[in-house]
């Protein structure tokens, strides 16, 4: 080996980087190699070497964003053009790093449609999930606490399984959701004063909502309201309900769920609504286990889970259609008996 072949070149200025830009881009974004492999290939094949930190700094200058990191979403929300891999991720990164197609809240009905799509972006599996990293562990804990909440209430209150009341949240829950949506709309049309008033009122009513039974409010707090909260306020919302429920219902599953959702929102927001979408299916499965064969609440939660799938263009899972057909037939029979006028009524 000659002396010339063994010399390793280190970049001194931008010109040195520009010489190898196409080569590095092909390895990092084209072949989707992990950074440490790119560094090794460049050192061995091209006698070009820099530290990982220097590479990352240069990638920022080139506006390359490979993973679903906070910087990617910051650039995305600011409207900056970034270069990302076009193919499916092949490098050894956790599944949570795969990118989602998402637009800003201001340009997509203040985030409602985008969040609905995110709810069904990944497969809605209620039985299988991994715990390969911190985010997956957080999501699995979320599912476990949802089960503890529903099954625990079933054990402690046997009458709940036989009740025929609707799953609808207390009236306050609907009002809070509407206020958050109104605040987002008013903010979008630059009516900041009225938007702020609506937000303050919504947070005040959250305190009142939290005093109801956990089984009556978890759907409003976790399944309904988050879809209407403005993007800029979503983190504040989860921080508030996590503190509120930790004080009122410390140690209970609903309080732990609020803390886990706060963590998920702050560390991996791109998976937040995917997890919420999967929770709809888990909830429907749990209602199947804890309630009767033909039950109105069971029907409602299953319909909502399927409706969420339909909004995202996902067909109902096999086996659900016969169930819904039986429940629909039973509903028609019941409603038909109500609709028939009696002789005394005439």
Which residue would you say has higher pLDDT here, 102 or 268? 268
CA–CA separation, 277 and 331 (whole Å): 26
User: Which sign, positive or negative, has the C-alpha torsion 98, 102, 105, 110?
Assistant: negative
b/e per residue, 136-169, with b = 16+ CB within 10 A? Answer: bebbebbbebbbebbeebbeeeeebbeeeeebeb
Confidence (pLDDT) at 341: 44
Contact predicate 226/233, CB 8 Å: no
Mean pLDDT, residues 312-338 taken together: 57
Judge whether residue 125 has pLDDT over 60.
Answer: no
Mean pLDDT, residues 83-91 taken together: 49
Which residue would you say has higher pLDDT here, 105 or 168? 168
Q: pLDDT-derived band of residue 170, with 50, 70 and 90 as boundaries?
A: low
The lowest-confidence range among 155-169, 204-218, 313-327 is 313-327
- What pTM value is reported for the model? 0.54
Confidence (pLDDT) at 66: 66
Confidence (pLDDT) at 295: 65
223: closest CA among 286, 269, 167? 167
Confidence (pLDDT) at 23: 92
Judge whether residue 222 has pLDDT over 90.
Answer: no
- Average model confidence (pLDDT) for the chain? 71
Query: How does pLDDT run across 256-303, given as a tens digit for each residue?
Result: 999 999 998 888 877 888 888 888 888 888 877 777 666 667 667 776
Q: Please state whether 79 falls in left (phi above 0), alpha (psi between -120 and 50) or beta.
A: left
Residues 6+ apart with CB under 8 A from 230: 105, 110, 111, 180, 183, 184, 187
Which residue would you say has higher pLDDT here, 72 or 284? 284
Judge whether residue 181 has pLDDT over 80.
Answer: yes
Judge whether residue 166 has pLDDT over 70.
Answer: no
Query: How does pLDDT run across 110-121, given as a tens digit for each residue?
Result: 344 555 555 554
Confidence (pLDDT) at 85: 58
CA–CA separation, 307 and 93 (whole Å): 33
Confidence (pLDDT) at 87: 46
- With a pLDDT cut of 70, the percent of the chain lying above it is 60
Contact predicate 19/9, CB 8 Å: no
Kindly report the length of the chain.
346
Mean pLDDT, residues 2-20 taken together: 78
Judge whether residue 25 has pLDDT over 80.
Answer: yes
Confidence (pLDDT) at 300: 72
DSSP letter string, 53-81: HHHHHHHHHHTB--S--HHHHHHHHTT--
Domain boundaries, the chain: 8-83, 112-331
Judge whether residue 255 has pLDDT over 60.
Answer: yes
CA–CA separation, 191 and 214 (whole Å): 35
Judge whether residue 183 has pLDDT over 60.
Answer: yes
Mean pLDDT, residues 199-215 taken together: 86
Confidence (pLDDT) at 130: 41
């Amino acid at each position: 080996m000659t002396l010339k072949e063994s010399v390793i070149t280190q970049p001194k200025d931008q010109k040195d980087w520009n010489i190898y830009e196409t080569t590095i881009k092909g390895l990092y974004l084209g072949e989707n190699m992990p950074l440490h492999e790119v560094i090794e290939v460049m050192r061995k094949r091209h006698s070009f070497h820099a530290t990982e930190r220097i590479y990352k700094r240069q990638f920022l200058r080139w506006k390359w964003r490979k993973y679903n990191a906070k910087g990617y979403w910051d650039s995305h929300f600011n409207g900056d053009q970034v270069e990302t891999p076009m193919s499916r991720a092949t490098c050894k990164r956790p599944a949570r790093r795969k990118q989602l197609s998402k637009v800003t809240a201001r340009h997509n009905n203040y985030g409602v449609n985008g969040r609905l799509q995110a709810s069904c972006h990944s497969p809605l599996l209620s039985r299988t999930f991994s715990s390969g990293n911190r985010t997956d562990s957080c999501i699995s804990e979320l599912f476990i606490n949802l089960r503890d909440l529903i099954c625990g209430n079933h054990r402690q209150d046997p009458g709940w399984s036989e009740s025929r009341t609707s799953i609808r949240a207390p009236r306050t829950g609907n009002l809070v959701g509407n206020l958050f949506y109104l605040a987002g709309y008013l903010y979008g049309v630059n009516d900041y004063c009225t938007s702020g008033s609506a937000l303050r009122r919504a947070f005040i009513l959250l305190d009142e909502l939290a005093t109801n039974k956990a089984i009556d409010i978890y759907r409003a707090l976790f399944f309904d309201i988050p879809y209407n909260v403005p993007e800029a306020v979503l983190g504040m919302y989860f921080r508030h309900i996590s503190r509120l429920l930790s004080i009122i219902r410390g140690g209970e599953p609903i309080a732990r769920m609020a803390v886990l959702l706060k963590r998920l929102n702050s560390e991996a927001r791109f998976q937040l609504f995917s997890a919420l979408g999967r929770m709809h299916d888990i909830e429907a499965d749990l209602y199947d286990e804890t309630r009767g064969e033909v039950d109105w609440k069971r029907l409602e939660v299953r319909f909502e889970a399927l409706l969420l799938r339909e909004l995202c263009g996902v067909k109902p899972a096999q086996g659900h259609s016969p169930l819904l057909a039986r429940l629909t037939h039973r509903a028609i029979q019941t409603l038909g008996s109500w609709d028939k006028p009696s002789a005394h009524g005439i």
